[in-house]
Amino acid sequence: MSAHLHPDNNVTINPSENATIRDVLAEFTGRRNFMKGSIGTAVLASMGGFSLEALAAGYVPSPSPTNGGIGFNGVPANIVPMTDGITVPNGYTAKVFISWGDAIGKAGPEANTHWNPSTAMTKARQLTTWGSHNDGMHLFPFPAVGASGLSNDRGLLVSNFEYVDPGLLNNTLTYGTDVITQDMVDAQLAAHGVGVVEVRKIGGEMKVQRPSAFARRITGATPCKVSGPAAGHPMLRTAADPAGMTVLGTLNNCAHGYTPWGTYLACEENFNGYFGTTAAKLAAQPRTPHEARYGVSQGGFGYRWHEADPRFDFRENPNELNRHGWVVEIDPWNPNSMPVKRTALGRFKHEGAWSVVGADNSVALYMGDDEINDYIYKFVCAKKLNTKNRAANRDLLDSGTLYVAKFNADGTGVWLPLVYGQNGLTSANGFNNQGDVVIMCRQAADILGATKMDRPEWVAVHPTTREVYFTLTNNSGRTVTDAANPRANNVYGHIIRFNENGGDVAATGFQWDIFAECGDKLSSNPARQGNIIGDDLGSPDGLWFDSDGRLWIQTDQAGDATGNYANIGGNAMYCADPTTRQVTRFLTSPIRCEVTGVVTTPDNKTMFVNIQHPGESWSGSFTSRSTWPDSGINGPTTQSANGAIKPRSAVVVITKDDGGVIGT
Ligand code: FEO
Ligand code: CA
Ligand code: CA
Ligand code: CA
């Protein structure tokens, strides 16, 4: 987040770890044609090291039937004077894995050169390098060689690149008053999106495989197919795409998701911030209620792209807005495949989309709309997972039922269907088809009486019980409380959890409780002390279960360890025991960053964690507040006012020195 470019979503606009598949990557023919495009011969060659039958073993996490437990001694909070680096427990080692601007192993003119971050980033360089502001991330393991199951030594690491700091990227101190050029916009667009790198254990250490035929960049300009109820809808048609079927790019992919059939889900969050127009045009044609409900404003978040590129002027191209705010499915195993915007999952500020497979192979996805007083959603696929044929799952996300959650005060809840023609979603209220319902999803959910939540962020589904955990990061704007959002001016946030009725992921009702109210035990305000057992935290955001049932919690607050965070310290990652509710701090982070994105190899022995926006709001002053990671993984040995080194978002890889399971 950033004060101007990724605001805290604090202005209200609202009046498993899955049990998974036995053959996620089914027989080759199906995989080759899985999404539009065909696999290249170079990929085939690189895949020669394993059999396709082995791939058919699929993503079976084989979760431990027992609680993994927490076996490390927590690290102290990173309080003022802050360490501008990573700290992990004794017996663990963290290293920088890949940073913004580092080569991903993709052929191209800049592929083997080293970016000097004191120069401007270019579109050409960004197309072969790691993008900006990495956030949600998943690892797709290869099949094990010479054994059943999945490899702990080789996989595809896929990450979102949520947003950019334009001054940092375009290398200017005066972005607010500069003349914005198309080249500047194009470089920023190229830094957004998604990246795929092949990771391999080389000499006992996990490295980026360079070159790799799987290495890929998807950007804010990559053509994406539109599918589902909004495909071709009049509200998605533009002069550049009169059919309303092909959108250029994906933007503000915050958290993510992945499917049991081995695809990645990039989720478009604060897309509204990239659009703007002139004051005169807005005066001549004021915001529509639809634009207002999605937070569109004249200046957006200050990117100013519309000044150079009319695609982002919402008075020149009003429908371009409707082409963003979706879940985008990407097949990382086919570098030529076209990403697909799956509109059946609704249009809102998607944090992420987390899938779960039921005992009967029903598939559901949990999603949050990260805005103060917006909603929690679930999508239940109409068809069941096909565990024998991967290609049969190709369009599973195109048909099903989208629901929005209502939490009752008695600990029950109900999923309200967002279906055209039902419950007031009719022409009398402006909905003439299901396309209208998904495009104007927020307004539809308003009509149904969904529960206004305290900014839903990530979801984690317990690997064996399928219990669903949801972070509600904060809501300083809450004045009217309810049972599920019990604190007014909720500055520290909470974690809610629920179980579907009958253990059925497709159920239309659930039982819920609050796992933890976050806070500071030393606060003089009792309402802000929370009820955490163990190490306090605030603004929970990232959330993930490893296959042993450890719950990993990552935080996103201001990150400077001042004010409400003087005791809690900078952002951190914690390990929680869902049974005892014990919370222990595992990692502390550089100054003013956000800790987001976490995944391990199948054996839970190698962990990847994303560090986003160290030094946040860096542009406007070349006196950086962070010089991480180029000043060293653990920070500079002496803290200096070193303004020469630009901070960069990066992936960190963590191992236990004795080769053991992370968290033990
Ligand atoms: Fe980009 Fe909801 O955090
Ligand atoms: Ca973020
Ligand atoms: Ca987030
Ligand atoms: Ca957040």
CATH of the domain at 126: 2.120.10.30
What is d(CA 79, CA 73) in angstroms, rounded to the nearest whole number?
18
- Lowest-confidence region among 170-184, 230-244, 624-638, 643-657: 624-638
pLDDT for the residue numbered 645: 76
**Cβ(117)–Cβ(87) below 8 Å:** no
pLDDT for the residue numbered 372: 96
Share of the chain above pLDDT 70, in %: 87
Task: Verify whether ligand 1 is closer than 6 Å to residue 370 (CB atom).
Answer: yes
- Once rounded to an integer, what is the mean pLDDT over residues 194-218? 95
Inside any domain, residue 207: yes
Nearest CA to ligand 1 atom 3: 254
pLDDT one-digit tens code per residue, 580-600: 999 999 999 999 999 999 999
Residue 173 pLDDT level (bands cut at 50, 70, 90): confident
What is d(CA 476, CA 453) in angstroms, rounded to the nearest whole number?
12
pLDDT for the residue numbered 143: 85
Local structure of 191: helix, strand or coil: helix
pLDDT for the residue numbered 18: 23
Residue 638 pLDDT level (bands cut at 50, 70, 90): very low
Which carries the bigger pLDDT value, residue 41 or residue 220?
220
Inside any domain, residue 306: no
What is d(CA 391, CA 377) in angstroms, rounded to the nearest whole number?
26
Which atom of ligand 1 lies closest to the CA of 9? 2
**CB burial of residue 170 (10 Å; 0-12, 13-18, 19+):** buried
Nearest CA to ligand 1 atom 1: 254
pLDDT for the residue numbered 114: 73
Instruction: Write out the residues surrounding ion ligand 2, Cβ under 5 A.
Output: 135
Which atom of ligand 1 lies closest to the CA of 162? 1
pLDDT for the residue numbered 20: 25
Residues facing residue 345 across a β-bridge: none
pLDDT for the residue numbered 632: 83
**Residue 54 pLDDT exceeds 60:** no
Local structure of 391: helix, strand or coil: helix
pLDDT for the residue numbered 15: 60
Which atom of ligand 1 lies closest to the CA of 349? 2
551 CA to middle of ligand 1, Å?
A: 19
Which carries the bigger pLDDT value, residue 557 or residue 148?
557
Task: Verify whether ligand 1 is closer than 6 Å to residue 351 (CB atom).
Answer: yes
- Of the bound ligands, which one is closest to the alpha carbon of residue 473? 4
Inside any domain, residue 661: no
- Of 96, 102, 139, whose CA–CA distance to 121 is shortest? 102
Inside any domain, residue 620: yes
Backbone torsions φ then ψ of 407, nearest 5 degrees: -100, 120
Task: Verify whether ligand 1 is closer than 6 Å to residue 268 (CB atom).
Answer: no
* Token pair for 434: 């299901």
- Lowest-confidence region among 95-104, 531-540, 578-587, 611-620: 611-620
Which carries the bigger pLDDT value, residue 46 or residue 515?
515
Residue 12 pLDDT level (bands cut at 50, 70, 90): low
Which atom of ligand 1 lies closest to the CA of 269? 1
Residue 620 pLDDT level (bands cut at 50, 70, 90): low
Task: Verify whether ligand 1 is closer than 6 Å to residue 457 (CB atom).
Answer: yes
Inside any domain, residue 297: no
Inside any domain, residue 284: no
pLDDT for the residue numbered 108: 75
Residue appearing with tokens 């334009």: 166
Q: How many CB atoms lie within 10 A of CB 80?
A: 12
**Residue 170 pLDDT exceeds 90:** yes
Q: Which of 22-26, 167-171, 491-495, 646-650 is the most confident on average?
A: 491-495
Mean pLDDT, the chain, rounded, equals 89
pLDDT one-digit tens code per residue, 412-449: 999 999 999 999 999 999 999 999 999 999 999 999 99
* Token pair for 48: 């020669």
For residue 103, what is the DSSP state?
B
Inside any domain, residue 18: yes
594 CA to middle of ligand 4, Å?
A: 8
- Once rounded to an integer, what is the mean pLDDT over residues 456-476? 96
Query: Tell me, what amino acid is at 197?
Result: V
> Do you find a cis peptide bond into 260, omega within 30 degrees of 0?
no
**Residue 72 pLDDT exceeds 70:** yes
Residue 3 pLDDT level (bands cut at 50, 70, 90): very low
pLDDT one-digit tens code per residue, 371-411: 999 999 999 999 999 888 888 999 999 999 999 999 999 99
**Residue 574 pLDDT exceeds 70:** yes
What is d(CA 81, CA 641) in angstroms, rounded to the nearest whole number?
13
Inside any domain, residue 427: yes
Task: Verify whether ligand 1 is closer than 6 Å to residue 269 (CB atom).
Answer: yes
506 CA to middle of ligand 1, Å?
A: 27
- Lowest-confidence region among 13-17, 75-79, 125-129, 550-554: 13-17
**Residue 32 pLDDT exceeds 60:** no
**Cβ(623)–Cβ(645) below 8 Å:** no
Which structural domain, as residue segments, surrounds residue 226?
Answer: 2-269+325-656
- Of 394, 512, 517, 293, whose CA–CA distance to 31 is shortest? 394
481 CA to middle of ligand 4, Å?
A: 21
- Once rounded to an integer, what is the mean pLDDT over residues 204-233? 97
- How many structural domains comprise the chain? 1
